Amino acid sequence: MNTLCHKNFHARVEFDAEDGLFVGHIAGINDVVGFHGESVDALKTAFREAVDDYIETCRKVGKQPERAYSGKLMLRVSPDLHAQAARAAELSGKSLNQWGEDLLRAAVDA
């Protein structure tokens, strides 16, 4: 995955072959903030400027720039996988919630 990070904001980047541009959008915010560049350096500069502009705009209008997450995550899985996960959690001495949180944490920290 191609990502950028600036001031704890993250963005996924793709190449648009039709327009010959690198394009990206800031992830994890309520608003849609995009940026683009014709080179890697131009893309990085545009990303930093987009983040800085977004933070400043949020400050001016008096709102928080990042989306607040509730901490609740609902997943739909097959009954068989649900049973296997519940069993694995129980065998490890954890609740299914704690077991799943540990796995998710390990995956995002990898």
The answer as to whether 52 is a domain residue is yes
Q: What is the tally of structural domains in the chain?
A: 2
Domain span holding position 103:
79-109
Distance CA 40, CA 23 (A): 10
- Say yes or no: 49 and 90 in one domain: no
CA–CA distance, 34 with 58 (Å, rounded to integer): 15
Q: Domain check: are 7 and 37 in the same one? A: yes
Q: Is residue 54 part of a domain?
A: yes
The answer to whether position 87 is within a domain reads yes
Q: What is the pLDDT of residues 29-46, one digit of tens each?
A: 888 999 999 999 999 999
Q: Which residue has the tokens 């014709």?
A: 38
CATH of the domain at 52: 3.30.160
With beta carbons less than 8 A apart as the criterion, state whether 6 and 51 touch: yes
Q: Between the CA of residue 19 and those of 22, 64, 75, 94, what are the distances in Å? A: 9, 33, 37, 51
User: Which pLDDT value is given to residue 30?
Assistant: 80
Position 1 scores a pLDDT of 57
Compute the distance between CA of residue 93 and CA of residue 88 in angstroms, rounded to an integer: 9
| Residue 71 placed within a domain | no
Inside any domain, residue 73: no
Tokens of 31: 């608003």
Across 13-39, average pLDDT: 92
28 inside domain: yes
For 52-89, the pLDDT digits (tens) are 999 999 999 998 888 767 788 889 999 999 999 999 99
Q: 12 lies in a domain?
A: yes
